[in-house]
């Protein structure tokens, strides 16, 4: 069985913030023996999602913890940091049509097929994606709406903000629900006549638009050629090299402007909070790196140098023309991007733990409400404010280990789905909710005589809102151990 996201150069779903980083890719690749069909005996005949029944089948794998997150829509909560980040970015794209309330329940066709994901693409695996049933998923990225929005053909530029869902590890920067913003800018070949200087020349019309974009003075590292025959090919059937180069230039400048603005605001908030270091910090450094997505070519990721390392903030590229043809707008040519809002919000507000976004604690939420009568400074369109997060306390951590043997009878070659580390992550999440800060495998070995595999996971219990009692932690931990035995047939050690 091929490890998910471990297949070398081929990206699975790309890299927009909290999803694919190289360390988690390695972790995700750890698969152990197959055990049992996902709770098929306990799955009800229908799942009620957003007041609608969806028939379940052998593909269904949406747990209750995820169902209860569906109505939250953090990107729409006034003065929530995710919503403020969304609006800050939207403000950098004047004239773009914005959509932020598409349903997260989409078809496999929308999420994968329309974007050209091959049938055996690892991103489609049940270990990574929440299936409502065989044909329906919780969107794993905002790109699920690209084809539909292009088909509506309502404007040259659009933005879609969305809650997205991926089965994933648990740690301070990963959460199975997060938020993305998708954006696209296209040009209509048929309307070029209106552009005087371009005179029917698409590349020239795009360069004219590049010249109208704001400039910035941040150093950008971009050693990449506009296209590369193997690594980042031109769509030669559809675009001239000049057209692809102009689209790429417009894309890069537009997105650099977003990042420059976000970091300027982050610095302003830090200085206002009395962080003297922020004022003298090194200037912002960004770089473009080549990437691969099934629905763009050429493709790039934008990385930002932040706290001693390069951080991916978005994926982007020239939209595959097949997608636009399929969406009924063959005359359009342009670019698209997708970025992770949590990752940007964590930098912008200095938020150290992704679980905080889900907190309903007023000590968290009230920090971003604008004060009555406050004007201007740090405010986004009059609602809420970009302020440095002030930790309200750090409660003690309670680590507990659970060690177990996997059942010896299971065989990954037996045609059953392979047990995945994400299955344990989900069991923990379903039992202990946000009281768990992270879960890590600390030991793994195969017994030399019996050939049975043993695993040990360290579960770190810590609430963001209060001190967890010892009894309470023990009870949660016992609940998890019990479910491992009952649900997966493991033998505790």
Identity of the residue, 81 or 317, whose beta carbon is nearer to ligand PHE in the bound complex:
317
The one segment of 192-200, 205-213, 271-279, 312-320 that binds ligand PHE by CB under 6 A:
312-320
Q: How many residues bind ligand PHE (CB under 6 A)?
A: 16
Q: Which of 467, 492, 200, 148 is nearest to 328 (CA)?
A: 148
- For position 338 contacting ligand PHE by CB under 6 A, the verdict is yes
Identity of the residue, 181 or 402, whose beta carbon is nearer to ligand PHE in the bound complex:
181
**What does the alpha-carbon distance between residue 266 and residue 278 come to, in Å, rounded to a whole number?**
9
Report H helices in 224-311: 241-272, 276-280
User: Which residues have CB under 8 Å from 85's CB, separation 6+?
Assistant: 262, 341, 344, 345, 348
Closest approach, Cβ 242 to ligand PHE, in A, equals: 22
- For position 122 contacting ligand PHE by CB under 6 A, the verdict is no
Closest approach, Cβ 180 to ligand PHE, in A, equals: 6
- For position 293 contacting ligand PHE by CB under 6 A, the verdict is yes
**What does the alpha-carbon distance between residue 339 and residue 256 come to, in Å, rounded to a whole number?**
13
The one segment of 15-23, 122-130, 246-254, 304-312 that binds ligand PHE by CB under 6 A:
15-23
Closest approach, Cβ 182 to ligand PHE, in A, equals: 6
* Buried-state track 384-409, b at ≥16 Cβ within 10 A, e below 16: bbbbbbeeeeeeeebebebbbbbbee
Identity of the residue, 248 or 317, whose beta carbon is nearer to ligand PHE in the bound complex:
317
Identity of the residue, 35 or 82, whose beta carbon is nearer to ligand PHE in the bound complex:
82
CA 46 from chain center: how many Å?
A: 28
Q: Could you tell me how many residues make up the chain? A: 493
The one segment of 194-202, 336-344, 382-390, 451-459 that binds ligand PHE by CB under 6 A:
336-344
- For position 14 contacting ligand PHE by CB under 6 A, the verdict is yes
C-alpha pair distances (Å), 371 with each of 85, 88, 182, 365: 18, 18, 31, 13
User: Which residues have CB under 8 Å from 3's CB, separation 6+?
Assistant: 28, 29, 30, 31
Phi-psi region of 65 (alpha: psi -120 to 50; beta: other; left: phi over 0): alpha
The one segment of 10-18, 87-95, 413-421, 430-438 that binds ligand PHE by CB under 6 A:
10-18
- For position 317 contacting ligand PHE by CB under 6 A, the verdict is yes
Which pair of tokens denotes residue 280? Answer: 């003298």
Q: Which of 141, 113, 140, 15 is nearest to 323 (CA)?
A: 113
Identity of the residue, 100 or 143, whose beta carbon is nearer to ligand PHE in the bound complex:
143
Report H helices in 440-488: 470-488
- For position 337 contacting ligand PHE by CB under 6 A, the verdict is yes
Phi, psi of 5 (to 5 degrees): 60, 20
The one segment of 33-41, 123-131, 313-321, 370-378 that binds ligand PHE by CB under 6 A:
313-321
- For position 165 contacting ligand PHE by CB under 6 A, the verdict is no
**What does the alpha-carbon distance between residue 297 and residue 229 come to, in Å, rounded to a whole number?**
11
Identity of the residue, 278 or 289, whose beta carbon is nearer to ligand PHE in the bound complex:
289
Four-point Cα dihedral 217, 222, 225, 231, nearest 10: -140
Closest approach, Cβ 355 to ligand PHE, in A, equals: 21
The one segment of 40-48, 83-91, 332-340, 369-377 that binds ligand PHE by CB under 6 A:
332-340
Binding-residue pattern over the window 141 to 160 for ligand PHE, x denoting contact by CB under 6 A: x-x-----------------
Identity of the residue, 34 or 296, whose beta carbon is nearer to ligand PHE in the bound complex:
296
CA 28 from chain center: how many Å?
A: 15
Among positions 351-370, residues that touch ligand PHE (CB under 6 A) are none
Binding site for ligand PHE (CB under 6 A): 13-16, 19, 141, 143, 182, 293, 296, 315-317, 336-338
């Amino acid at each position: 069985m091929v490890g998910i996201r471990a297949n070398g150069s081929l990206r699975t779903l790309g890299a927009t913030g909290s999803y694919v980083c190289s360390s988690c890719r390695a972790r995700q690749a750890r698969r152990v023996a197959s055990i049992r069909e996902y709770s098929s005996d306990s799955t009800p005949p229908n799942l009620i999602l957003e007041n609608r029944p969806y028939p379940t089948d052998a593909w269904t794998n949406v747990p209750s913890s995820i169902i209860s997150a569906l109505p939250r829509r953090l990107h729409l909560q006034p003065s929530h940091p995710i919503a403020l980040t969304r609006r800050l970015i939207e403000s950098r794209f004047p004239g773009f049509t914005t959509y932020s309330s598409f349903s997260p329940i989409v078809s496999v066709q929308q999420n994968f097929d329309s974007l050209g994901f091959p049938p055996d693409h690892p991103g489609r695996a049940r270990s990574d994606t929440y299936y409502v049933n065989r044909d329906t998923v919780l969107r794993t990225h905002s790109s699920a709406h690209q084809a539909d929005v292009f088909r509506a053909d309502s404007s040259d530029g659009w933005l879609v903000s969305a809650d997205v869902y991926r089965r994933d590890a648990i740690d301070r920067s990963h959460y199975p629900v997060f938020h993305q913003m998708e954006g696209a800018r296209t040009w209509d070949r048929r309307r070029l006549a209106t552009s005087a200087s371009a005179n029917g020349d698409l590349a020239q019309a795009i360069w004219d638009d590049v010249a109208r974009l704001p400039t910035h003075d941040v150093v950008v590292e971009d050693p990449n050629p506009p296209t590369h025959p193997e690594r980042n090919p031109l769509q030669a059937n559809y675009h001239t090299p000049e057209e692809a180069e102009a689209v790429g230039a417009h894309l890069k400048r537009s997105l650099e402007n977003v990042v420059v603005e976000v970091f300027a605001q982050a610095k302003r908030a830090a200085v206002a909070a009395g962080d003297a270091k922020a004022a003298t910090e090194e200037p912002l450094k960004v770089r473009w790196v080549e990437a691969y997505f099934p629905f763009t070519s050429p493709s790039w990721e934008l990385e930002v140098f932040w706290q001693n390392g390069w951080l991916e903030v978005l994926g982007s590229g020239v939209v595959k023309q097949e997608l636009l043809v399929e969406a009924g707008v063959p005359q359009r040519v342009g670019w698209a991007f997708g970025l992770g809002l949590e990752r940007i919000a964590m930098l912008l507000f200095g938020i150290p733990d992704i679980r905080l976004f889900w907190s309903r604690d007023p000590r968290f939420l009230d920090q971003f409400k604008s004060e009555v009568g406050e004007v201007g400074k740090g405010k986004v369109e009059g609602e809420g404010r970009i302020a440095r997060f002030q930790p309200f306390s750090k409660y003690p951590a309670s680590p507990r280990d659970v060690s177990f043997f996997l059942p010896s009878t299971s065989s990954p070659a037996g045609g059953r789905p392979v047990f995945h580390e994400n299955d344990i992550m989900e069991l923990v999440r379903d039992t202990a909710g946000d009281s768990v800060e992270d879960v890590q495998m600390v030991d793994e070995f195969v017994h030399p005589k019996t050939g049975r595999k043993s695993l040990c996971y360290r579960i770190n219990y810590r609430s963001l809102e209060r001190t967890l009692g010892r009894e309470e932690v023990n009870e949660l931990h016992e609940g998890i151990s019990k479910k491992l035995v009952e649900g997966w047939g493991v033998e505790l050690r």
